[in-house]
Structures are given as structure tokens and as C-alpha cells.
Amino acid sequence: MAENSAISWTRHTWNPWMGCTKVSPACDGCYAEAMMDKRYGKVQWGNHPRVRTGAHTWNDPFRWQRQAEKDGDRPFVFSSSLADIFDNQVDPQWRAEAFEVMRKTPRLVYLLLTKRPQNIVKMADAAGGLPENAALGATCEDQPRADKNLPALQVAKMELRPLFTFGSFEPLISDIIVPPAFMPDWVITGGETDQGGHKARPTHPDWFRSLRDQAAAAGAAFHHKQNGEWVSVSEVAGPGVHFQFDDGATVRRIGKKLSGRTIDGVTHNAFPEVTA
């Protein structure tokens, strides 16, 4: 649904369908619900039918494939930004057809991010197998979700052999320690943004730093997408309401645009390597 995505860790987003059901604290401020349900009324969130997108959207990957062939590169495609590719309530045939599109566009690297990594193996098998040009990711916003989702992602990695695995630690709402055995190949972090009536929860700057350092120790690529609505008072100067954590660390609410995407003044923009 996006030609060139504003998301820093992907070039395109592709949504073969829209709609989802909230399953974890990361869903509290779901931007897809705020936009496609609350704002535009395109689909109802929750226990309602998912909405399949049109032929133009389903044809987008073929156009991107032709451009990638001309350019000789391998652009990343996030699927799905307005849904969950491994959602239990999606018609399995839609997933099978989406996987077939992926197989027919081999120069594209599909980023399959899910909050339901326990479904990956069985649903991929039912859809004819994981496409060879797919990477698998899991959202882990706090320690309980990391403890649950990263082992499931590791199982999927061992059984399905994706291009690589990645963890989306966004919105990061607690400190997270990742056991080395479950560290994904690519670590993405981000703070929360306001969505509709949901106001962003602040992220402690040390939570970002910790994942940055854990990724470096494990040799994983690290990408910091955004600070969100809140940023460390040492990172960006200016006005804004303060929030102080128990250890005295203070963040300032200045909005996503002004908060930027640096940690200690450094932009972390790493991507995993894929073969040409």
C-alpha cells in the first residue's frame, strides 16, 4: 500500500489484506487501527472479517520486481503493515496466494513481522512453505513478550530457514534482556507515538542503549527507527513536559518529528546483508 515507505527499515510496504485483532500491549496504540478503522473506516478491528486489498496492490510487487531487476538490488518489503501475516482470523488461501506472489518476485526481500510467531511454522507449511526470499520477525515490546516470542521465532528459524530473523522492539515499553541463543540477526528499536486516543508511553533511554549493546555483542545488525514522542533530555534540547523514571533518568515529550532517531547523538541504520 506504500510505494516508498516512511518506515526507515523498509523501502516498500505491501498489504494483501487489512485488519487485525489486538493481542499484546504493543497493540494498545495500533497505528493501523487508528488509520484504517478509526480514521478511514476501511476495516473494523478485532473479531471482524479482514478486508482483502485490490488488484492494483496485489500487482505492486511485480512492478517493484521489474525495477529491482533493472537496478540490480534487493529492496526490502514489509508485509503486512496494516495486518498480521500470521493472523489466525485470515483466510488461509489469502496467505497461500500472497506467498505465491512472493515466490514470483524473488529479488524482493519480504519482511514478515508478526505478533504471533507461534503460528509461523504451521501456517507457512499450510501455505506451501515459506518463500525463499522471506525473512521472519517478531514484535517484542517488553520482557514477557520477548520471553514468549523470541524462542518461537528461533524455532521457526530452525525449521523454515528464512533469509534472516529480526526482532522489532517497538514500542519499547520495558527493559529487555535477550538470551544469546535467541538473539535475532537484526534488532530494530523504536519509541511509541500517539495514535488517536492512545498517548505514547515513555521509553527509558537505557532500554535503547541496552539492546544496542546486546546486538553489538552478538554481532547482530542494529537499527534504531525512532525515539517516538519522548526523548532523553540529554538528546534533544527544548521545551516539553518531563517524565522521570525511578532511577532519575528524565525524558521530554517533544513529538516524533523533533525527537529524531539518534541514541547518544548517533544514528543507527544497520541492515542485515543479503546476497545479490
Q: Helices marked H in the chain — which ranges?
A: 31-32, 55-71, 92-103, 120-126, 143-160, 205-218, 256-259
Query: Are the beta carbons of 149 and 25 closer than 8 angstroms?
Result: no
* Residue ranges making up the domain that contains 26: 12-267
The tens digit of pLDDT for each residue in 156-169 reads 999 999 999 999 99
CA distance 148 to 42: 32
Confidence band, pLDDT 50/70/90 cuts, at residue 3: low
Average pLDDT over residues 67-82: 96
135 in helix, strand or coil? strand
DSSP string spanning 209-274? HHHHHHHHHHT-EEEEEE-TTEEETTTS-S--EEEE-TTS-EEEE--HHHH-SEETTEE-B-----
Q: What is the pLDDT of residue 171?
A: 97
Q: Report the domain count for the chain.
A: 1
Confidence band, pLDDT 50/70/90 cuts, at residue 237: confident
Average pLDDT over residues 112-128: 98
Q: Which three cell numbers stand for residue 139?
A: 514484535
Q: Which three cell numbers stand for residue 156?
A: 521457526
Residue 7 lies in a domain: no
Residue 5 lies in a domain: no
Q: Which three cell numbers stand for residue 264?
A: 547518544
Q: Please state the pTM of the whole predicted model.
A: 0.96
Residue 275 lies in a domain: no
CA distance 244 to 231: 11
CA nearest neighbour of 188 among 172, 201, 169, 206: 169
Work out whether the CA dihedral 228, 42, 89, 153 comes out positive or negative: negative
The tens digit of pLDDT for each residue in 14-42 reads 999 999 999 999 999 999 999 999 999 99
Q: What is the pLDDT of residue 276?
A: 76
115 in helix, strand or coil? coil
**Angle of CA points 85, 87, 91, to nearest 5°:** 90
Confidence band, pLDDT 50/70/90 cuts, at residue 221: very high
Pairing type for strands 262-263 and 266-267 reads antiparallel
The tens digit of pLDDT for each residue in 158-201 reads 999 999 999 999 999 999 999 999 999 999 999 999 998 899 99
For residue 94, what is the domain's CATH number?
3.20.20
Residue 274 lies in a domain: no
Residue 48 lies in a domain: yes
Q: What is the pLDDT of residue 69?
A: 97
Instruction: Answer whether residue 89 shows pLDDT above 50.
Output: yes
Helix 92-103 crosses helix 55-71 at what angle (to 10 degrees)?
20
* Length of the chain counted residue by residue: 276
Confidence band, pLDDT 50/70/90 cuts, at residue 1: very low
Q: Which three cell numbers stand for residue 88?
A: 489466525
Residue 117 lies in a domain: yes
* Phi, psi values for residue 185, rounded to 5°: -70, -25
